[in-house]
Structure 1
């Protein structure tokens, strides 16, 4: 076992996905039209409770479409977390708006709702929040703030497919919500994403924008600037196969998370969920007590051919963003955090090996 690589993640694929892809290929409808796209949108809508679910080519363009649909642009400000994957914040720059960074809560690692109001100005158009590593953010408070100040709420749910908050599924907790179906997400289409919204007009606008701005009344006429952000029928076929095993995937990931927490909670810090919520446990994410301790464990796991992944770099530390001084939690969590292997096919014996190495190398 010591010589076989344990990856940080790998998709949970099987015969059902192969069967549906073969059916798609036999139909010859392999591009951005076909029955699997419609079925995938409908099934995701049913699962999440979303009124409208729009399949797109990846999770990044999903957020870009959210920005465009809400008419966010030059001169607007978007309040967002300083601890997330860069794609979500990049979408703010794509439309020429300005990201305003807010620190994260020290326990959930999600945007600190107590620090949002002080950042709101007359230029604020929206709050973009991320359910980091699959943990839901405090939606009720976010919704209250957004309503009080008349701004839009955008949910970056790329990492939280299958999570819930107070009985509502991730993906319906915003004026617009977005999913990613990249290869390491809870369910995958290879690449791929989805935009979800309860608003009929936003649904209509997003569908037009993702499809080259095609006119609804005249063929090959484009009456707005649009984009080729469409998902393929083959991708959607894979997604349907994945949806069929979603509960199995989530169950396996819960077992892995519980095993890690039971064995290591006395020496490591785990993410804390809000009350009445469930996580997708996209990644098993832990905080070490010091940089030296983290580096030691990282090295020991790497020597055993076990892959780990560092936490996201705070967005303001990237060279094309302005640095801020008021996000100490984001900086600390980023520096001390590490993601451990947590894919559904991880075997019990492999997880035991990971746990043993960590325990043996912590003072």
Structure 2
């Protein structure tokens, strides 16, 4: 297929995941900004294009022309191999984490290229050729390393798990933070559906570290059904979503129910809540909780609501007397509490 002009690369969407049914748009994922820059088209007339600015934690990442071109190569190589859209997102998110979409000549030990592939994957020239490096990520390395297509069930995995199955990184949860950016780039190149500089797709950014990893896991469960007593991976009750998300982020809880979480939390005043805090409802006469949601940002939470409804993003009013905010204590975690999980 022909190359899509860089003017078509879109600003960051607040989008999570390209599942089999298509794009799932959510109102709160990552902060974006629009930077207008000048570029010359083939006619020699100067025109304005937009570069995506992704914010993760306290870090702003503005993609330059080379990075956008590399993302386009990763995507178009996958399209030529008939890789499903979900695989394209996994590949772009992986390259973003490994190299920030830069074709690096070096790295940790003998790692090179967009995917920081080690020497066994191929020669230096192969690993620093964006088309070849992308092909190897999808189909496997020259010494028999499995590529994405070799991973059983990769299409139903989270971006983190699919990327880790190929890369075997020491920091597997880092891939998740780039899923929204990768999704927007894939939609731009494959869907030929750019946003202009006047679009305002603004949401909340996820924090760095364990809390951000936990929130990413929770967000990836959107669309899974509520089932009482379920703790994943394909269905959840309200507290089961909390338990599963922390466990997948590497910090298992010792407690299971909303009431236990309420009893093992420090009260947080409305307006002082942080991402990862919990919102408790259905409060009983004795002060126990019957429902729990996970705060994404003040006023927005992710929850497994009730029978007949799926995991979803929810708006809330923190000063409602029927709801209480809390932050899990050390006693709630099976191991040392992750940084940022409590003040």
- Same fold per superposition (TM over 0.5): no
Greater fraction of residues in helix = 1
Higher relative contact order (CA 8 A, sep 6+): 1
**Given the two structures, how large is their TM-score scaled by the length of structure 2?**
0.29
